[in-house]
Structure formats: C-alpha cells, structure tokens
Amino acid sequence: MNARIEAIYRYPVKGLTSQKLERTTLSPGATLPADRLYAIENGPIGFDPAEPKYFPKQRFLMLMRNERLATLRTEYDEASHTLTIGHEGREVARGDLRTSEGRLAIEAFFISFMPDELRGPPKVLHGTNHSFSDVAKKVVSIINLASVAAVETATGAAVDPLRFRGNLYVEGWPAWHEFDLMGRTLTINGARLKVIKRIVRCAATNVDPATGIRDLTIPKTLQQNFHHADCGVYAEVVAGGDIATGDAVTSD
C-alpha cells in the first residue's frame, strides 16, 4: 500500500481551532509540538501547573458539550504564545497566554460568550511538558481518510475529516485498516510510532467544525453500520524525526 500523510494538524488550545502544519518534528514520548498545550478550565479542578496531571475532557471547555466553540476562529502564534479569537468576522479577544493579563483577556471573553455553559470561572491552564489530551498518555492521533469516507457513505452526508480532530491524516489505506495495525510500528521519514489504542468517538464528532451545528450522529452511525464506535488510532512516538505532508507511511 502506498500510504502517505495527507495532512498534519495540531490544536494549541483544547477545544478550539485546529492549526494546519506542512511539517513538524516528532520526539519520543511526546505529542506533536504545542498540541493541546493549553486548555480552558470549566470550573475549578485543582490543576497544579507545577505538577500537571491528567484530567478528563469533561473538566474543560470542549466540543462534546460546548458546540458554540466551533463558531470561533482562533489563531495561535507559537513564538509569542498569543491567542487571537475571531467571531462572526471580527476579532473579539487577543492575549499572550504566558502573561496574567493575556490570560485574563481570554477568560473575560469566555465569561461573556458562553455564561450559561460555565460551571465556574473559566481559566486558561498550562503545565510544563503537559498536554491536555483526551487520554493520559502522550500520543499522536492518526485518522484513516478511507474510514472517514466509509462513515460519510453510511451517513449519506458530507463528513469533514476535521470532525475527528486528529493529528495525522493518512491517505492510501483501505477503510478500517488502522485497526489492523494495533501493536505494530509505523515509520514516517525516520520517525517511528507504535499504534497502541483505537479512538472511541464521542458526541464532539456530531458538531460541524465550520458552523458549530450539531447536525450528525457519528457515534450512533458507527455503531449501527460498523458495530463499534471507533475511528482512528492513538500511537506513541518511539523514535523521533521530522515529518511532512506527503511523506510515506509504512508499517512493520
């Protein structure tokens, strides 16, 4: 199979807009650089930035419950750590997430934007070498575009692959081939990733990432048509290296 990386994405702030990359560098035992680097706490959880620990996604603002987030267009500048938020064609907030003033500006926006969905003051969180992933391990998520196409056929409607909020989108595998790779190692231009877990899909995939409308029932569609609720896999980086769009993906 002539599989290749069709696209690379990261999510600097959990639950907010993706950032497309042409290339990046993978490091052993790490996520994509700056992936889920920040999160917005939805009510106090006792997060300690000096000793960051995993918390389930329900403790943060996220699409599974807060679909209005998809109506925002956010941009993150890695050099300055500045997050810019746009809504309905205009800039509504901007802040350097390393500074208290910058975080307060972002938090103030969310207080006004979605007050009925907050369980307490929203707070921008960050921890050294921490990723606010949906799983405790530091992983890279891989989406098979043929599997997305199979879901699209089952729904009878267009399915934007970004509904699955993956890091690496692979073209060239048959549908559901990613599940056959469990325990195997993928090689991408010298980087090596061990596939460790199928990704169980939640109601976040029901939300159109362009409009914020909850217009599909992806987990239900998966169960009814394929007898599982999974799409994509998690992989651990076991050997680092540079990867780029178009790189071949091989397996042992």
For the beta sheet containing 90-96, the strands, ordered from the edge strand earlier in sequence to the opposite edge, are 72-77, 82-87, 90-96
The segment(s) of the chain belonging to CATH 2.40.33.20 are 4-9+21-31+135-251
What is the pLDDT at residue 1?
Answer: 73
Mean pLDDT, rounded, of the chain: 97
Q: How many CB atoms lie within 10 A of CB 91?
A: 11
What is the pLDDT at residue 221?
Answer: 97
What is the pLDDT at residue 157?
Answer: 96
Q: How many residues are present in the chain? A: 252
Question: b/e string for 111-150 if b means 16 or more Cβ within 10 A?
Answer: eebeeeebeeebbbbbbeebbbbbeeebbbbbbbbbbbeb
Contact 243, 191 (CB under 8 A): yes
Alpha helices, DSSP H, located in 138-213: 145-155
Q: By percentage, how much of the chain surpasses pLDDT 70?
A: 100
At 119, the pLDDT band (50, 70, 90 cuts) reads very high
CA dihedral 53, 103, 24, 7 (to 10 degrees): 100
Alpha helices, DSSP H, located in the chain: 100-113, 145-155, 218-226
Residue 137 has pLDDT above 90, yes or no: yes
Query: Rounded mean pLDDT of 200-217?
Result: 95
| pLDDT per position as a tens digit, 85-113 | 999 999 999 999 999 999 999 999 999 99
Query: Three-class SS of residue 71?
Result: helix
What is the pLDDT at residue 198?
Answer: 98
Distance from the first to the final alpha carbon of the chain: 13
Query: Rounded mean pLDDT of 146-170?
Result: 97
Q: Supply the pTM of this predicted model.
A: 0.96
| pLDDT per position as a tens digit, 180-195 | 999 999 999 989 999 9
| pLDDT per position as a tens digit, 67-83 | 999 999 999 999 999 99
At 152, the pLDDT band (50, 70, 90 cuts) reads very high
Residue 135 has pLDDT above 90, yes or no: yes
Class of domain 4-9+21-31+135-251: mainly beta
